[in-house]
Structure 1
Amino acid sequence: MRQNPERRTALVDAAIEVLADQGARGLTFRAVDQRAGVPTGTASNYFPNRDALLVQAGRRVFERLDPGPEVIGESLALPRTRASVDRLMHEMVGRITAYPSGQLAMLELRLESTRRPELRAILTEQIRANLQDNIDFHLDTAMPGDADTVVHLYLALNWLILERLTLPDLFDQARTDALITSLVTQLVPE
Structure 2
Amino acid sequence: MVRRNPERRAALVDAAIEVLAKEGARGLTFRAVDIEAAVPPGTASNYFANRDDLLTQAGARVYERLQPDEETIARQRASTPDRETYAVLMREVVGRVSAFRTGYLALLELRLEATRRPKLRAVLTERVRADIEANMAYHEESGLPGDATAVKLLYLAFNWLIVEQLTLPEVLSEEERERLVTAAVERIVQP
TM-score band by shorter chain is over 0.9
Could you state the TM-score of these two structures normalised by the residue count of structure 1?
A: 0.99
- 1:125 paired with 2:135, answer no
Match of 2:110 in 1: 109
Match of 1:88 in 2: 89
SS at match of 2:80: coil
Query: Percent identity of the aligned residues?
Result: 57
Deviation at 1:82, TM superposition (A): 0.2
**d(CA) in 2 for partners of 1:38 and 1:2?**
14
Deviation track 1:69-92 (CA, whole Å, cap 9, x = no partner) reads 211111110101000000000000
Match of 1:35 in 2: 36
Deviation track 1:30-78 (CA, whole Å, cap 9, x = no partner) reads 0000000000100000001000000000000011000122111111101
Match of 1:68 in 2: 69
What residue identity is the alignment partner of 1:173? E
Deviation track 1:130-160 (CA, whole Å, cap 9, x = no partner) reads 1100000001111000111100000000000
**d(CA) in 2 for partners of 1:165 and 1:45?**
33
Deviation at 1:124, TM superposition (A): 0.2
Match of 1:177 in 2: 178
Match of 1:160 in 2: 161
Residues 49-60 of structure 1 aligned to structure 2 (within 5 Å)? 49-60=50-61
Moved over 3 A (4+): none
Deviation at 1:166, TM superposition (A): 0.2
SS at match of 1:115: coil
- 1:99 paired with 2:96, answer no
What residue identity is the alignment partner of 1:49? N
What residue identity is the alignment partner of 1:119? L
Please report the RMSD computed on the Cα atoms of aligned residues, expressed in angstroms: 0.5
Match of 1:151 in 2: 152
Deviation track 1:87-133 (CA, whole Å, cap 9, x = no partner) reads 00000001001100000000000000000000000000001001100
- 1:140 paired with 2:169, answer no
SS at match of 1:101: helix
Q: In the comparison of the two structures, how many residue pairs are matched?
A: 190
**d(CA) in 1 for partners of 2:133 and 2:66?**
16
What residue identity is the alignment partner of 2:174? Q
